[in-house]
Amino acid sequence: MSTTASMKNGTWRNWGGNVSARPAREVTPASVDELAAAVRKAAEDGLKVKAVGTGHSFTAIAATDGLLIRPQLLTGIRNIDREAGTVTVEAGTPLKRLNVALAREGLSLTNMGDIMEQTVSGATSTGTHGTGRDSGSIAAQIKGLELVTADGSVLVCSEKENPEVFAAARIGLGALGIVTAITLAVEPLFLLTAREEPMQLDRVIAELDELWAENEHFEFYWFPHTDSTNTKRNNRSAGPERPVGQLTGWFEDEFLSNGVFQVAQLVGRAAPATIPAIARISSKALSARTYTDIPYKVFTSPRRVRFVEMEYAVPREALAETLRELKTMVDRSGLRVSFPVEVRTAPADDITLSTASGRDSAYVAVHMFRGTPYQAYFTAAERIFTAHEGRPHWGKVHTRDAEYLAGVYPRFGEFTALRDRLDPERLFQNDYLRRVLG
């Protein structure tokens, strides 16, 4: 099973299988100049333009019936500046390749999400994040950006150069231009010790503040229809390295988390009444474990079971209440939810449309197995999230529009004004951006 989107008979589909598009034209530029020329030509021909990475967004953020730009030839590291602690990468570089290449150089990102299939530009443009007390999303680690704007010119921005573009373009939603290179902060490779253990949901909710304060990276999964969670704390370690053994790793990460989980999902989809029983078994299948390894081997894990996802960022202080309401809703609804709910945090950042912009945030993600009706569950969850001024993840299912988003993002107008300046003709527009940006 491939980890990316697919293209068949001229139709592009995303990884989750819930979005498709038929672009009029497709290009795979081998240089920034080629990309800029393709943008200029599309503008002349009256075609809208979108770049697409690996299709890991569940929204139609990358869909277009115009020109589809595939960045897979724009990959690799351009430059490492050890003194400044930065690395400049081509936008189409998969995070997986970046992480491996950095480790080989004795370097690492400070924080990352839990999968690494996406391209660097796709992940940052949609606000992909992991969990962290002090360190935020991948975009929050950006030190500089290069993008091709609507007139085909190349714009470079950083805190010093075009700072107002930099403030917005780090999570630019593909609305301001096509990102061609990104400069990220990196640091010398370090070790993380992961401690994974089951815990009762009530206890996790009661101790949220301590768990957040005492751990650099805390997250947990709650299994609906149960009171069980699986918690994960990642903290820096002096070593020694104690990776998960090959057999244990295969058993827990491949067999249980992907293989058996896939079968359980298929059974649950065919016979929804079995889901609560499966959830009780699943929640007990994973035992406590501790291991120490380099960051990307601790932060990320393979995700082979396909799903559809909705995730909202709520103010961190609203997390306990949000979780209680979500549990009550599932318990009372008659819904059958076979996928765990994932909870993470991020500190406030200064990116215009970051889900953590200006406020310490907690992320609550709900998932449904691909092919299972998800609308009723997601609609009920979204009602809870929006009551707490939740901000939807830009790459995940949601129904919000510009009017709602302008109310939960204090700097929303700043972003749309910049877009008016950089793309007055809306070359990079599509239906999704029309809905969320107006």
pLDDT single digits (tens) 111-128: 999 988 999 999 999 999
Residue 240, preceding peptide bond in cis (omega within 30° of 0):
yes
H or E element that contains 229: strand 228-237
Banded model confidence at residue 254, pLDDT cuts 50, 70, 90: low
Residue 411 makes CB contacts below 8 A (sequence gap 6+) with 352, 353, 357, 358
* C-alpha span between 253 and 259 (Å, rounded): 9
Q: Assess whether pLDDT exceeds 90 at residue 370.
A: no
Q: What is the mean pLDDT of residues 121-141?
A: 96
Cβ-contact 130, 217 below 8 angstroms:
yes
Banded model confidence at residue 158, pLDDT cuts 50, 70, 90: very high
Minimum mean pLDDT among 5-9, 347-351, 371-375: which range? Answer: 5-9
Side chain identity, residue 236: R
Minimum mean pLDDT among 101-110, 272-281, 322-331, 420-429: which range? Answer: 272-281
Minimum mean pLDDT among 55-64, 200-209, 272-281, 370-379: which range? Answer: 272-281
Question: What's the pLDDT score for residue 281?
Answer: 75
Length of the chain: 438
Closest CA to 127 of 69, 169, 64: 169
Question: DSSP state, 422?
Answer: H
Closest CA to 144 of 170, 118, 178, 122: 170
Give bridge partners of residue 79 from the DSSP assignment.
88
Question: What's the pLDDT score for residue 258?
Answer: 62
Which has more confidence, 272 or 327? 327
* C-alpha span between 358 and 108 (Å, rounded): 26
Minimum mean pLDDT among 169-173, 227-231, 255-259, 429-433: which range? Answer: 255-259
Cβ-contact 205, 324 below 8 angstroms:
yes
Q: Assess whether pLDDT exceeds 60 at residue 90.
A: yes
Question: What's the pLDDT score for residue 248?
Answer: 66
Q: Assess whether pLDDT exceeds 60 at residue 57.
A: yes
Banded model confidence at residue 391, pLDDT cuts 50, 70, 90: very high
Longest dimension (CA), the chain: 60
Question: What's the pLDDT score for residue 377?
Answer: 97
Q: Assess whether pLDDT exceeds 80 at residue 142.
A: yes
Banded model confidence at residue 256, pLDDT cuts 50, 70, 90: low
Return the SS3 of 132: coil
Minimum mean pLDDT among 77-91, 284-298, 344-358: which range? Answer: 284-298
How is 377-407 classified by DSSP, letter by letter?
A: HHHHHHHHHHHTT-EE-TTS-----HHHHHH
Banded model confidence at residue 247, pLDDT cuts 50, 70, 90: low
Q: What is the mean pLDDT of residues 294-311?
A: 89
> CA torsion angle for 376, 353, 130, 16 (degrees, to 10)?
40
Closest CA to 398 of 57, 62, 11: 57
Indicate the pairing of strand 67-69 with strand 25-27. Answer: parallel
Cβ-contact 154, 180 below 8 angstroms:
yes
Question: What's the pLDDT score for residue 260?
Answer: 67
Question: DSSP state, 117?
Answer: -
Task: Please give, one letter per residue, the 3-state secondary structure of 83-105.
Answer: CCCEEEEECCCEHHHHHHHHHHC
Q: Assess whether pLDDT exceeds 80 at residue 417.
A: yes
Question: What's the pLDDT score for residue 2?
Answer: 46
